[in-house]
A and B are shown apart, each in its own frame.
Chain A
């Protein structure tokens, strides 16, 4: 796996509204945020606070009503449809429910993002490397249904890394996992960040997960209600205490 550097992300005045029946809902309301390259940022907040929507907007699978998202000097919100697809190829996305393709084996799920494209790199070899990196060597031929939740999420992470992303977006990556497995997944993500320097933006409502991030951004009703730098403490236990005092 090649070493990479993370992307910088700048969100400015981002707004996304939905309509629930006849009621308009503002899921993301004038959010502005800057994320340094290589940092791991936890988006927290109660259900409906706009965490997932903000991730989707940054990941360009949802369109903003106003505001901009700029990733490495590329204004994502201004990209056309084809360019957006190319943008998504350069980021990684991990979902709470993994969203593996049930018809494909583990190995093929990892390859899936590059299946429509024929690159110079051997996708099978790279997929094997990634599976090895996420601890699933030897399970290449398994089907997703034959794996545990944690294993499926590892496959999803490997799949997210297939395009050598500089930005990884993770929406509740441990939400469907027990705490031990969730911790292992976070270990994996942090290890990847350490090895490849990618920027990770993850949505979570778990204190233990959030406490291990570099920064915690708490959302409420679509707005940023708290933005805490968690790297200033020497002791991780202190950080955990600080996070524990926060209302996630």
Chain B
């Protein structure tokens, strides 16, 4: 049997090769085109909630930024931007901006936490015993945060109050190498304090330095503010006022000394402030940033890092809009103790602490000051180049995301981390002018890292800082006020309520707020805003990967979306899909998101905060466009159509091949071959061809896919073999069964029947129609194949042109939208071409089967042109039938999806139908050309 099959294939090499090529084209096309279905499919998950009004509709984040919780439960934690430091390039941002339908695309680049000093002045006036000529007031600070639950004592600060005169160093004058000029006109050596210190003038005229131990602590960034201790020298003037050198009184001027009615000393708390870069214009459009500026000016497009070089020192100043509130729940509490016997003047640093402990200790009151009040006081000075506000950027700390463990009841337990390496805040050579926040030593929830920045060297000191050009009030930003209704706001400070009685009691019925630890679970929102243009200058030369992809997130508002409705939701979904396709980034739809209270367990801290059970304002994403590897049903449907058309094409070809061999099969039947064996013979032949075509397609698919930019992969290419085999067998099944069932006498009947519907064809077109009606099955098959292609192309073209890339319909759902993709168009065009090829094949078979008739017509005087016109009419009729049916189908489908029948859709359908007819006519030229080679004489003699 195999030999017989092989003999048949070899004996009819022409027809065998034609069939093989048919299966090969169909299989290769199918494998390659389906390869495109898994490249960037967007699946939509979740349901849509109503009644939300976010400032933006779509959130674009770097690929992989979506946390497992978001992916699985559609939950987004408060301050979702924390832990996201870059990942989106400016080119990707440009592509997002260019997406049709995007109204505003506001980028934000999270850079990290700067630290800034917040003054928490303490009033010691009442602690002073004015009857004493000398005394020390010891200030024992206690740092308190998180509603008082975390607290830690700091080293004492000492204030030496003397009635003796004090002289002060003149740091405004040129400094010799080891001595400093003083206010008495003389110069004194630095020793024994290591640095110029105020000096007490004794009654005998001698002077003694009052050493400040801060000068021996090293670089401030290398120690905690808890470890800082100091000794300040203050003179109690005869008139009752106080006099001190620079830096003692919080409102001291710039001179070497100042006086004050009250003894208020400047103590600062170091507060982390999250720095982010934005496009001021986009931010203004998105959240009204310009309108939220309460002091100074808004950021302008020209604001960028300024660099000043002087005396081997390079100062980089980043312009920022600073927040009007630091959103830090932290305060300094202090108790005052009078030490009447302490005499620190003239004591060298190693003996200072011991000297200050000497004698009696008398309680002298206490004081407290919180960060919020301190920040307000700082702002009150007004934005100015010398005043408010500034901070360091010598050490910028980036905090990672919180990690959660999920408990069975749905509660999330915050994963505790040990305190971060203190070096992230700076070391002895970082020149961070502020000590690190005391709470940085607490148990953390986020890992910290230092933003790599270019370092200076001893000969070229590099000092970076930020300075406010204005102050913005986050409360005045759009959508800020109603925390319960507006999730996913960029500037919303996180806040967590106690979720059980114990926690509520611990918090005193108030919410827990960020405590000033960048590694803490509750992270403050961006409070310092600079321009995106500043980012490259800030990061240049530091080796940060964020330099190449600075943007952390892009918040997108979609045009013509007003609140939530299905049409808006669909419009937003389409824009999200386009953004994901254009950029490959993680895209989430925030329209339709809603607040979702989430129970969170916060482990106990190192500074007394007990474990708390909290309720946080998380956000539940309404709808998300997630790039998945799922099969694109829409595209797959198109490719199935390709396969169907291929099957029709092959079915026709196999049927014709079988018909060619009618007499031979009849002879086999007469020789006693059973029907099943005849069917097996035919199926064996097509299976052999299918197998060969599948193997060839296996080799062709991968390189062809690569040439078309489609990732096919060998795994998918292997599909070619079973697909080709199946395709060939399906195509051959019906002809094989018909051939097997046919009576041998059937071979004697003419290959083409007479017309069943007799009309008098008075024209060539009429004769062409009559001819088509003689083979209705074949006619339907050819035009049906074309109709499928035209319908597919009409749908795709309707999506592409009539609706500018999208059908936004009356129905919400995945199947509603047809977004034009290259692969879809390719598949649709391929289907049309295969349909046209099927029509050409029908015409070719018609010519073969009616060769004697055509020879007769030539013999009776028909010209070649007349015969060609006849075939062309047949092609035209087949094409018109297929194209019109296809266009009607496509039109119906598109109209159903669009919920109407706009004029543009009709035009598109007409254009596609016309294109289908034209392609078919072009395809008909091939069989028409065969007419010239008809062996007229032989045909007339043989028949």
Binding site for B on A (CB under 8 A): 52-53, 56, 59, 61-62, 81-82, 85-86, 88-90, 92-93, 95, 97, 99, 101-105, 107-108, 111-113, 115-117, 141, 143-145, 159-160, 162-163, 171
* Partner of B761 from A108, A117, A171 at Cβ < 8 Å: A108
| A113 to B929 Cα, complex, angstroms | 21
* A-side contacts of B863, CB under 8 Å: 82, 85-86, 116
Contacts of A85 in B (CB 8 A): 858, 861-864
With A103-B774, A105-B760, A143-B758 in contact, do A61 and B940 touch (Cβ < 8 Å)? yes
Question: What are 15 A-to-B residue pairs whose CB atoms are below 8 Å?
Answer: A61-B936, A61-B940, A85-B863, A99-B855, A99-B859, A102-B754, A103-B755, A105-B758, A107-B760, A113-B857, A115-B763, A115-B764, A116-B866, A117-B866, A162-B860
Near A by CB (< 8 A), chain B positions 759-793 give 760-764, 767, 770-771, 773-774
B777 CB, nearest partner CB in chain A, Å: 16
Contacts A62-B936, A103-B770 aside, 13 further interface pairs with beta carbons under 8 A come to A52-B937, A52-B941, A62-B937, A93-B859, A95-B856, A102-B755, A103-B771, A104-B761, A108-B760, A113-B857, A116-B870, A141-B758, A171-B940
A101 interface neighbour in B753, B758, B762, B856, Cβ under 8 Å: B856
Partner of A99, one of B753, B767, B869, B943: B943
- The answer on a CB contact under 8 Å between B866 and A101 is no
Contact of A113 among B853, B860, B943 (CB under 8 A): B860
State the Cβ distance, B602 to closest chain A Cβ, in Å.
89
Residues of B within 8 A of A97 (CB): 943
Contacts of A144 on B, CB cut-off 8 Å? 754
Q: Decide yes or no whether B205 CB sits under 8 A from chain A.
A: no
Which residues on A sit within 8 Å (CB–CB) of B767?
Answer: 103-104, 115
Cα A117 to Cα B857 with chains together (Å): 13
Q: Which residues of A contact B754 (CB under 8 A)?
A: 102-103, 143-145
Inter-chain contact A61/B937, CB cutoff 8 Å: yes
Q: Which of A53, A61, A82 has the most CB of B within 10 A?
A: A61
Residues of B within 8 A of A88 (CB): 858-861
Chain A's closest residue to B774 (CB) is A103
A115 to B862, CA, bound (A): 9
A-facing residues in B857-880 (Cβ within 8 Å): 857-864, 866, 869-870
B758: chain A residues within 8 A (beta carbon): 105, 141, 143
B750 at the interface (CB under 8 A from A): yes
A-B contact count (CB 8 A): 105
- B145: Cβ under 8 A from any A Cβ: no
Q: Indicate whether B852 reaches chain A with its CB closer than 8 angstroms.
A: yes
B residues in contact with A101, CB < 8 Å: 853, 856-857
User: Within the assembled complex, what's the spacing in Å between the Cα atoms of A102 and B760?
Assistant: 13
Residues of A within 8 A of B752 (CB): 102
State the CA gap A90–B860 with chains docked (Å): 9
Taking the closest CB of chain A, its distance from the CB of B856, in whole angstroms, is 4
9 nearest A-B pairs in the assembled complex, by CB-CB distance = A89-B861, A116-B866, A85-B863, A99-B856, A102-B754, A113-B860, A103-B755, A88-B861, A62-B937
CA distance A139 to B857 in the complex (A): 22
Nearest-CB residue, chain B, relative to A60: B859
Residue in B closest to A103 when the chains form the complex, CB atoms: B755
Chain A residues lying within 8 Å of B857, measured Cβ to Cβ, are: 101, 112-113
Q: Give CA–CA (A161, B356) in the complex, Å.
A: 141
> In the complex, what residue of chain B is closest to A144 when comparing beta carbons?
B754
Compute how far the CA of A62 lies from the CA of B859 in the bound complex, rounded to whole angstroms: 10
Q: Report which of B764, B771, B858, B870 forms a contact with A61, defined as CB distance below 8 A.
A: B858
Q: A115–B770 Cα gap in the complex (Å)?
A: 14
| Chain A residues within an 8 Å CB radius of B764 | 115-116
A230 to B866, CA, bound (A): 41
**A113–B861 touching, CB < 8 Å:** yes
| Interface secondary structure of B, over-half rule | helix
Complex CA gap A240/B774 in Å reads 47
User: For residue B866, which residues in chain A have a CB less than 8 angstroms away from its CB?
Assistant: 115-117
CA distance A103 to B768 in the complex (A): 10
Interface digits, B830-852 against A, CB 8 Å rule (1 contact, 0 not)? Answer: 00000000000000000000001
| A63 and B19 alpha carbons, distance in the complex (Å) | 34
Q: By the criterion CB–CB under 8 Å, are A56 and B937 in contact?
A: yes
How far, in angstroms, from A194 to B822 measured CA to CA in the complex? 74
Q: How far is the CB of B853 from chain A (nearest CB, A)?
A: 5
- Smallest distance from the beta carbon of B851 to chain A beta carbons, Å? 11
CB atoms of A160 and B937 under 8 A apart: no
Q: Specify the chain A residue showing the minimal Cβ separation from B852.
A: A99
Q: How far is the CA of A113 from the CA of B940 in the complex (A)?
A: 16
Q: Which residue of B lies closest to A116 (CB)?
A: B866
Q: Which residue of A lies closest to B756 (CB)?
A: A103
CA distance A137 to B764 in the complex (A): 25
Q: Which residues of A contact B936 (CB under 8 A)?
A: 61-62
A102 vs B857: C-alpha distance in the bound complex, in angstroms? 13
Partner of A112, one of B750, B774, B860, B941: B860
Q: How far is the CB of A170 from chain B (nearest CB, A)?
A: 12
How many angstroms from the CA of A108 to the CA of B770 in the assembled complex?
Answer: 12
Say which residue of A53, A81, A141, A160 sits within 8 Å of B860 (CB atoms): A160
State in angstroms the CA–CA spacing of A52 and B870 once bound together. 28
Q: How far is the CB of B11 from chain A (nearest CB, A)?
A: 15
> What chain A residues lie within 8 Å of B763 (beta carbons)?
115
Please tell me if the beta carbons of B761 and A93 are within 8 angstroms of each other in the complex: no
Q: Please, which residue of chain B has its CB at the minimum distance from the CB of A93?
A: B859
Rounded to whole angstroms, the CA-CA distance of A103 and B857 in the bound complex is 13
Q: For residue A143, which residues in chain B have a CB less than 8 angstroms away from its CB?
A: 754-755, 758
Whether A104 contacts B860 by the Cβ 8 Å rule is no
Residues of B within 8 A of A108 (CB): 760-761
Distance in Å from the Cβ of A69 to the closest Cβ of chain B?
14
Q: How far, in angstroms, from A171 to B939 measured CA to CA in the complex?
A: 13
The residues of A that contact B858 with a CB separation of less than 8 Å are 61, 85, 88
Residues of B within 8 A of A53 (CB): 937
Docked-complex contact A99 and B853, CB < 8 angstroms: yes
Q: Which of A81, A92, A112, A159 contacts B864 (CB 8 A)?
A: A81
**Closest Cβ–Cβ distance, residue A28 to chain B (whole Å):** 12
Q: Which residues of B contact A159 (CB under 8 A)?
A: 860
Which residues from B are CB-within-8-Å of A104? 755, 761, 767, 770
State in angstroms the CA–CA spacing of A20 and B864 once bound together. Answer: 28
Instruction: List which B568-604 residues lie within 8 A (CB) of chain A.
Output: none
Contacts of A117 in B (CB 8 A): 866
The residue on A at minimum CB distance from B869 is A116
Taking CB atoms, residues of chain A closer than 8 Å to B943 are 97, 99
Q: How far is the CA of A61 from the CA of B862 in the complex (A)?
A: 11
CB contacts (< 8 Å) of B856 on chain A: these are: 95, 99, 101
Taken together as a complex, chains A and B put the C-alpha atoms of A86 and B866 apart, in Å, by 12
User: How far is it, in angstroms, between the C-alpha of A59 and the C-alpha of B860 when the chains are bound?
Assistant: 10
Complex Cα gap A162–B860 (Å): 9
Is B771 within 8 A of A93, CB to CB?
A: no
CA distance A92 to B864 in the complex (A): 18
Contact residues in A for B771 (Cβ distance below 8 Å): 103
**Shortest CB–CB separation between residue B937 and chain A, in angstroms?**
4
In the assembled complex, the CB of B766 is this many whole angstroms from the nearest CB of chain A, namely 9
- Give Cα A82–Cα B750 distance, bound, in whole angstroms: 31
Chain A min CB distance to B196 (Å): 115
Pick the residue among B761, B762, B940 that contacts A95 (CB under 8 A). Answer: B940
Could you tell me the distance between the alpha carbons of A95 and B762 in the complex, rounded to whole angstroms? 24
Docked pose: A96 CA to B561 CA in angstroms = 80
- Bound form: Cα–Cα A108–B943 in Å: 21
Q: In this complex, what residue of B is CB-closest to A89?
A: B861
Pairwise interchain contact A116-B860, C-beta atoms closer than 8 A: no
Which residue of B is nearest A169, CB measured?
B859
Q: Are A59 and B859 in contact (CB under 8 A)?
A: yes
A171 to B942, CA, bound (A): 12
Docked complex Cα distance between A60 and B855 (Å): 12
Query: Could you tell me the distance in whole angstroms from the C-beta of A51 to the nearest C-beta in chain B?
Result: 11
Docked-complex contact A102 and B860, CB < 8 angstroms: no
Q: What is the bound-complex CA distance between A103 and B753, given in angstroms?
A: 8
Question: A143 CA to B767 CA in the complex, in Å?
Answer: 14
Nearest-CB residue, chain A, relative to B941: A52
Chain A proximity of B508: nearest CB distance (Å): 99
Contacting residues, chain A, for B859 (C-beta < 8 A): 59, 61, 88, 93, 95, 99
